[in-house]
Amino acid sequence: MKTLLSSLLLLSFAALPLAASGSESEPKLFAALAMTKSQKASPLPTDSGVFLYDNEAQRWRRFGPSIQQVNSLASDPSNPAHLFLACGNGIVRSQDGGTSWRMVTGWRESDITKIVVDPTNGQNVYASSAWGVIISKDGGDTWIAANQGLVEKLVKSIVIDHLNPNRLLVATTAGLFESNDQAQSWSQVSVPTNDAILGLDRNQSDPDLWIAGTEGSGVIVSKDNGKTWQSTAPALAQANIYGITTNHANSQAMAAGGWGKGLWVSNDGGNTWTDRSAGLPSKNISKTTFDQASKNRLWVSTFEEGTFYTDDMGKTWRTDDIIKPGAGGSILGAYVIDLGFVSVSK
């Protein structure tokens, strides 16, 4: 019995979150994912959770608890030890850089898709979910719904205006909505489509530049801080675009990836676009993001066929995401639900 108990204790510790390596807060690449490729005749992915990319070891490491359906990870910009997991179960928070975790939502909050934290006040936390927007004014201790003005509550993503934290935009199945009062009310933003908005990104160096992916209408951009929006990337005009990103170090560079369309890039602020799918094993793109540490690096996740990066805007692709039998460290076979950068510190 003692042997068995010991083995379970080991199992228990193995399941506990791994602490963030080191105390640095340099943004790290994360992937929120479900391992679906090997999911056969079962409702359960073979694994799921959040993984951080270890640049030095060139491998992925689990971060946080192992829970089915984790959709994203966020941290408080003013205190990167405060972390939030967007989960099917709700929101799971760490206040010690990932050493311990606590579920901070109740039964009314579910299927969280994305979380953002006010960069000027870490008490203000906002989350999108399949059932609407929820907000916290106490750093995540308590939450309330904030859906006034939304037409549909299935919210795919949320972005906070880092220059004006009272302002938020959400991507919903009924279009793009904006709040200028900390999510107390929402109003619809006019965009050149009635289709669902699937993802949203705002450039940090050129705050006038926003980009969004749509369900069936390709890519739309705004160059006047979200006031007006235009379609771009005509080759993707009818595509479902799940991955969109702008380079925060170079606002002329952006990328978009869709289902069956592969990965497309623009080097001129969205005026022209080039298919950079050659070299990728699949044209089904789930997420893409520019690297926040390596300024010209672009990451892309294909559906179940691996996560890759390029240092030359897609002319050539590389991956460290290879199967290392018995060694772990790979997320090959994953359905990457979110791919991004997050600062983590102890």
Partner 1 sequence: MPLFKALSLKLTIALCAVTLIQPISAGQTSISSLSDEELIQQYRERAQYLLDQTVALTDPTDLSAGGMFHLAVNLHEGANLEWVKARLITANQPPAGAMFWMIPMVLFMQIAQDIENETGTPALTDDEKAFIRILWKSYFPYRGDTENHWIMYYVSQYLVAEMTPDGGPELWYNGKSSAENMAEAREYIEDWIKITTSYGQGEYDSPNYIEEYTRPMALLAGWAKDPVLRKKGKMMMDYVLLDYAVENINGLYGGAHSRVYPRFLVQPSLSAAASHGWLIFGQGDYLSSGGNMMIALSGYTPPPILLRIAHDRDNPYVHRELKRTRWRLRNAGPEAFDIGGMTTIPVYKYSYVHKDFILGSSQGGLLQPIQQQTWSLLWHEDKPSGISNTMFGVQSYSSPFEGTMYFSTDWDTVTDLISRSKVDYDLEDKLEGGSPYEQVAQYQAALIALYDIPEGTRFPLIHTYFSRDLKNRVEDSSGWIFSQGGPTYIAYRPLAPGAWKPVDWTDSLKKGLGGYFSATANPKSGFEPLVGGSESYVSYDLKNGYIVQVASSSDFDSYEAFQAAVNALPLEYSMKPTPTVTFTSLDGAVLTAEYGKLFSVDGKADDLAAWPLFDGPFAQAERESESLEIIHDDERYLLDFKNARTETTNSSAK
Binding site for partner 1 (CB under 8 A): 1-2, 4-5, 7-9, 11-13, 15-16, 36, 39-44, 65-69, 88-90, 92, 100-103, 106-107, 110-111, 113, 130-132, 145, 147, 152-154, 173-174, 196, 198, 215, 240, 242, 259-260, 284, 286, 303, 335
CB 170, min distance to partner 1, A: 14
**Which residues have C-beta within 8 Å of that of residue 124, sequence separation ≥ 6?**
117, 118, 135, 136, 137, 165, 182
- For the stretch 277-281, contacts whose Cβ atoms lie closer than 8 Å and that sit 24 or more positions apart, written own/partner, are 277/314, 279/308, 279/314, 279/316, 279/317, 280/305, 280/308, 280/317, 281/305, 281/306
Nearer to partner 1 (CB atom), residue 65 or residue 314: 65
CB 307, min distance to partner 1, A: 16
CB 318, min distance to partner 1, A: 25
Separation between Cα atoms, residue 286 and residue 41, nearest integer Å:
23
Question: Could you tell me which of 75, 125, 73, 133 has the C-alpha nearest to residue 109?
Answer: 133
> At residue 9, what are phi and psi to the nearest 5 degrees?
-60, -40
Question: Could you tell me which of 94, 99, 90 has the C-alpha nearest to residue 139?
Answer: 94
Nearer to partner 1 (CB atom), residue 111 or residue 206: 111
CB 5, min distance to partner 1, A: 5
Separation between Cα atoms, residue 313 and residue 291, nearest integer Å:
12
Nearer to partner 1 (CB atom), residue 46 or residue 79: 46
Burial (CB count <10 Å: 0-12, 13-18, 19+), residue 180: middle
Nearer to partner 1 (CB atom), residue 110 or residue 185: 110
CB 103, min distance to partner 1, A: 4
* 338 contacts 32 by C-beta, under 8 angstroms: yes
CB 75, min distance to partner 1, A: 18
Q: Mark residue 103 as left, alpha or beta (left: phi above 0; alpha: psi -120 to 50; beta: remaining).
A: beta
3-state SS, residue 6: helix
CB 42, min distance to partner 1, A: 6
Nearer to partner 1 (CB atom), residue 209 or residue 285: 285
CB 178, min distance to partner 1, A: 20
Please give the structure tokens belonging to residue 280. Answer: 């990728």
Nearer to partner 1 (CB atom), residue 56 or residue 107: 107
Nearer to partner 1 (CB atom), residue 106 or residue 234: 106
Nearer to partner 1 (CB atom), residue 9 or residue 278: 9
Separation between Cα atoms, residue 201 and residue 194, nearest integer Å:
19
Q: Which helix (H) or strand (E) holds 231?
A: strand 230-232
